[in-house]
Amino acid sequence: MQPKSPPNPGRRKFLIAATSAVGAVGIAGAAVPFLGSWNPSAKAEAAGAPAVADISKLRPGELLIVEWRGVPIYVVKHSTESLNQIDKNLERLADPESNEEQQPEYARNKLRSRREGISVLTAVCTHLACAPKFYPQLGVNDFDNNWQGGFFCPCHGSKFDLAGRVYAGVPAPTNLPVPPHYYKSDDILVIGEDGDVT
Beta-strand pair 150-153/144-147: unpaired
Domain region containing 24: 9-39
Does residue 21 share a domain with residue 57? Answer: no
Is residue 198, in this structure, part of any structural domain at all? no
Does residue 17 share a domain with residue 63? Answer: no
Q: Return per-residue pLDDT of the chain as tens, 198 residues.
A: 666 666 666 777 777 777 877 776 777 676 666 556 555 555 554 557 899 999 999 999 999 999 999 999 999 999 999 888 888 889 999 999 999 889 999 999 988 989 989 999 999 999 998 899 999 988 888 899 989 899 999 989 999 999 999 999 999 999 999 999 999 999 999 999 998 754
Does residue 134 share a domain with residue 77? Answer: yes
Between CA 193 and CA 49 the distance in angstroms is 9
DSSP H or E stretch at residue 191: strand 188-191
Does residue 14 share a domain with residue 75? Answer: no
Does residue 65 share a domain with residue 19? Answer: no
Between CA 79 and CA 84 the distance in angstroms is 9
Does residue 73 share a domain with residue 55? Answer: yes
Does residue 77 share a domain with residue 33? Answer: no
Between CA 151 and CA 141 the distance in angstroms is 12
Does residue 119 share a domain with residue 152? Answer: yes
Q: What is the value of pTM for the model shown?
A: 0.74
Between CA 74 and CA 119 the distance in angstroms is 8
Does residue 184 share a domain with residue 88? Answer: yes
Is residue 59, in this structure, part of any structural domain at all? yes
DSSP-derived secondary structure letter, 58 = P
Is residue 56, in this structure, part of any structural domain at all? yes
pLDDT reported for residue 2 = 62
pLDDT reported for residue 37 = 59
pLDDT reported for residue 4 = 63
**Contact at 8 Å (CB) between 123 and 176?**
yes
pLDDT reported for residue 198 = 46
Does residue 182 share a domain with residue 128? Answer: yes
If one counts the domains in the chain, the total is 2
Between CA 148 and CA 52 the distance in angstroms is 29
DSSP H or E stretch at residue 80: helix 80-85
Q: φ and ψ at 82, to 5 degrees?
A: -70, -35
Is residue 2, in this structure, part of any structural domain at all? no
Does residue 171 share a domain with residue 143? Answer: yes
Does residue 117 share a domain with residue 22? Answer: no
